[in-house]
Structure 1
Amino acid sequence: MDKCEKKSSDRSQMLNKIRELEFAAVELNLFLDNNPNNQHALADYNCVTANLMKLKRKFEMEYGPLTNFGYAQSKCPWRWVEDPWPWEIDG
């Protein structure tokens, strides 16, 4: 595997982990909507959310923004238009 393939693989793996954490956050959010006093679920939600935010920051520092419209800063030059976009990456 050459350096470019490794970087693409690392990027795909990181995006997949972000998707997994986002899914877990949504599921826990829905559970907490119906069980707002469940302290174990709330602790899990806070842990997943902290890990998700940390991983998103790491991804954006290495590969550029995941979203547009003020959710992430960009290095110069403007990186949002660089290929591939987050949804175009095979996972």
Structure 2
Amino acid sequence: MKQTADTAQERNALMEKIQMVDFALVELTLYLDTHPQDSQAIQQFNQLAMESRDLKGAYEKRFGPLRQFGGSFSGYPWNWDNAPWPWQL
């Protein structure tokens, strides 16, 4: 996929959202490890997990695979060689 400035900006903005949500999920996981009865935190975790799933799905639909080892499907032809890689953003 050839990137325009607008496409790169959209890609970076979506990746930043994914990173923010996933960071919150990591923090909530750590919190819930020590507070497993906090139903409000569990509800927030589940909402963020769905948001993360949806954001990653939107990213992959628009920009290609994001997760390796079976977490993402490849288009045809094999599109794991399309740059930039998610961790390069």
What TM-score comes out, normalization by structure 1 length? 0.91
Asked if 1:9 is matched to 2:4, the reply is no
SS at match of 1:82: coil
| 1:1-37 Cα shifts (integer Å, max 9, x gaps) | xx81011000000000000000000000110000000
2:78 counterpart of 1:78: yes
1:26 aligns with 2:23: no
Query: Could you give the per-residue CA deviations for residues 48-89 of structure 1, whole angstroms, max 9, x where no partner exists?
Result: 100000000110111111122111111111111111101111
For 1:55 and 1:78, the matched residues in 2 are separated by 22
Identity across the alignment (%): 34
Counterpart in 1 of 2:59? 59
TM-score normalized by structure 2? 0.93
CA distance in 2, matches of 1:68, 1:34: 30
Q: Tell me, what secondary structure is at the counterpart of 1:76?
A: coil
Number of equivalent positions = 87
Q: Secondary structure at the match of 1:54?
A: helix
Q: Structure 1: 5+ residue runs without aligned partners? A: none
Structure 2: 5+ residue stretches without partners: none
